[in-house]
Amino acid sequence: EPEVTQTPSHQVTQMGQEVILRCVPISNHLYFYWYRQILGQKVEFLVSFYNNEISEKSEIFDDQFSVERPDGSNFTLKIRSTKLEDSAMYFCAGPKDRYTDTQYFGPGTRLTVL
């Protein structure tokens, strides 16, 4: 069964550095989502991406964050200048196929900011 893939699985960076997290969703559905989960806490919505544009973003998704779909398949989340509090698991999610809206989550990228 096709899966959402994310790279890297673990990223360690210094505070103030830029990081790019990558995702390849299952299908060519138009909606994709990014969520984050700080260790031991609940999953929080970051941003939704529809038809190559941001459709909704949370208060967490400030000017330091951006999303792109650079080549029609990959889907990236960029953090321009990382802070210690950005340390978390970052998940991308998307529908499995055009017939269902259930969001299937990728394996996640663990971001550690030192």
Say how many residues touch other proteins, by CB under 8 A: 23
Stretch that binds other proteins, among 20-28, 61-69, 77-85, 98-106 (CB under 8 A): 98-106
**25 lies in the site for other proteins, by CB under 8 A:** no
CA angle 74, 47, 32 (to 5 degrees): 40
Quote the Cα angle for 35-39-42, to 5°: 50
52 binds other proteins, rule: CB under 8 A: no
Closest distance of CB 31 from other proteins, Å? 5
Q: Name the site residues for other proteins (rule: CB under 8 A).
A: 31, 33, 35, 41-45, 48, 50, 55-56, 58, 91, 93, 101-108
